């Protein structure tokens, strides 16, 4: 039973079985050099001098065997990896995030890091942190899907993670925090509505789970902006379905709202269409403002006004990650990303 070695029924005993994965030792044997030499050659180590003919022999042997280094062994030996862990979001992600992610990935690859998007759906913060820590990444960049508690940060730190970066609605202790100014988004929208003469303003709050992290602060910002101007804000729960939108539109006259900020261009489009079908004039009776500046928002009539949000660029973030890893970025950092501005089209 114990000899269940995978041995292809190969009749030629002279040939190497070679079904095992080739290692640097195999390369060394084939090239007739030591394993150390192989390592030096394949890593282009500059401190050691190896003659050019030998280098070529080693490279040729590696090519012939189809040698691929073993990342785990490398990580083990080095004591750390060059992996940047990106806990994956499970919310449907828009083109904004998609572009951001690609830029980040590209820029980090340029800095010789490997980006790994790692799913940790529905785990507690500490459990998730432990799962991340097992991979001994050099850095963790959390985009706010899983909350990063101080305990989670401690777990990561103890496991050798050099940098923890969070992108979210508020800063997390002990990390480099990029705080998206979500209240600013709500405030910008409401201030715009007030500037165009609206006084009773609805704010759509998505019922979908996972969006609460964004919608809450946006509502709060809207409230503050309205309060400062003596206007009123009414929260409006809405699910991303036609039925929900119709239901809301049906009781619209009773709400007596002259403006609405809809969290998102998608929710805005959904609501605006439902309002029009129910006989409400946009923007005559009610002005509508979305967010994210989607192309599709310009296809409806009236064209949708929107709040454009300034996200940090992937390249910029990649540099922050790099500096945070080699320690030149200081301990914990907080940086506010604010730059929301309203793009007025026809719906407001």
Partner DNA sequence: ACGCGTCACTGACACGTGTCACTACCCCAA
Partner DNA sequence: TTGGGGTAGTGACACGTGTCAGTGACGCGT
DSSP-derived secondary structure letter, 92: P
Site for a copy of itself in 47-66 (CB under 8 A): 66
Please give the structure tokens belonging to residue 218.
């946006």
- The reply on whether position 130 binds DNA by CB under 7 A is no
Which of 54, 149, 196, 244 binds DNA (CB under 7 A)? It is: 54
- The reply on whether position 159 binds DNA by CB under 7 A is no
- The reply on whether position 47 binds DNA by CB under 7 A is yes
- The reply on whether position 118 binds a copy of itself by CB under 8 A is yes
Q: What is the dihedral of CA 37, 40, 46, 50, to 10 degrees?
A: 20
CA 132, distance to chain mean position in Å, is: 15
Helix (H) or strand (E) segment spanning residue 23:
none
- The reply on whether position 328 binds DNA by CB under 7 A is no
- The reply on whether position 134 binds a copy of itself by CB under 8 A is yes
Q: How many CA atoms lie within 13 A of 241 on its CB side?
A: 6
Question: Which position has the token pair 């508690």?
Answer: 149
Which of 36, 195, 250, 296 binds DNA (CB under 7 A)? It is: 36
Ramachandran quadrant class, 144 (left: phi over 0; alpha: psi -120 to 50; beta: rest)? left
- The reply on whether position 321 binds a copy of itself by CB under 8 A is no
Closer of 4 and 51 to a copy of itself (Cβ): 4
Query: How many whole angstroms separate alpha carbon 141 and alpha carbon 173?
Result: 14
- 158 contacts which partner out of a copy of itself, DNA, none, CB within 5 to 8 A by kind? a copy of itself
Please give the structure tokens belonging to residue 273.
């269409």
| CB neighbours of residue 243 within 10 Å | 9
| CB neighbours of residue 162 within 10 Å | 16
- The reply on whether position 150 binds a copy of itself by CB under 8 A is no
Site for DNA in 65-94 (CB under 7 A): 67, 69-70, 73-74, 76-79
- 23 contacts which partner out of a copy of itself, DNA, none, CB within 5 to 8 A by kind? DNA
Which of 63, 70, 334, 335 binds a copy of itself (CB under 8 A)? It is: 70
Does a cis peptide bond (omega within 30 degrees of 0) precede residue 168?
Answer: no
Residues interacting with a copy of itself, by CB under 8 A?
21-22, 66, 68-73, 75-76, 81, 88, 90-95, 98-99, 101-102, 105-106, 109, 114-119, 121, 130, 133-136, 154-155, 158-160, 240-242, 266, 269-270, 273, 295-296, 298-300
């Amino acid at each position: 039973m114990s000899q269940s070695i995978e041995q292809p029924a190969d009749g030629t005993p002279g040939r190497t079985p070679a079904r095992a994965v080739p290692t640097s030792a195999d390369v060394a044997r084939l090239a007739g050099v030591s394993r150390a030499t192989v390592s030096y050659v394949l890593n282009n180590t500059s401190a050691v001098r190896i003659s050019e003919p030998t280098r070529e022999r080693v490279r040729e042997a590696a090519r012939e065997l189809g040698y691929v280094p073993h990342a785990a062994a490398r990580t083990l030996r080095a004591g750390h990896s060059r992996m940047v862990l990106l806990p994956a979001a499970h919310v449907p992600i828009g083109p904004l995030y998609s572009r951001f992610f690609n830029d980040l990935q590209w820029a980090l690859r340029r800095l010789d890091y490997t980006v790994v998007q790692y799913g940790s759906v529905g785990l507690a913060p500490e459990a998730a942190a432990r799962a991340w820590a097992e991979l001994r990444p050099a850095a963790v960049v959390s985009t706010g899907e899983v909350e990063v508690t101080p305990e989670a940060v401690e777990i990561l730190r103890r496991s050798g993670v050099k940098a923890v970066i969070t992108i979210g609605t508020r800063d997390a202790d002990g990390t480099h925090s990029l705080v998206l100014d979500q209240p600013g988004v709500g405030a910008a929208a409401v201030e715009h509505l007030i500037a165009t003469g609206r006084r009773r303003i609805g704010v759509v709050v998505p019922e979908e789970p996972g969006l609460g992290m964004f919608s809450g602060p946006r509502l709060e910002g809207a409230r503050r902006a309205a309060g400062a101007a003596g206007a009123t804000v009414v929260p409006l729960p809405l699910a991303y379905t036609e039925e929900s939108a119709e239901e809301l539109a049906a009781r619209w006259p009773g709400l007596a709202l002259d403006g609405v900020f809809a969290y998102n261009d998608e929710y805005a489009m959904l609501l605006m269409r439902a309002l029009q079908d129910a006989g409400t004039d946009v923007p005559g009776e009610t002005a509508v403002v979305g967010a994210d500046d989607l192309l599709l928002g310009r296809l409806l009539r009236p064209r949708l006004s929107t709040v454009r949000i300034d996200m940090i660029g992937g390249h910029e973030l990649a540099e922050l990650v790099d500096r945070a890893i080699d320690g030149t970025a200081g301990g914990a950092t907080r940086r506010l990303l604010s730059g929301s501005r309203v793009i007025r089209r026809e719906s407001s």
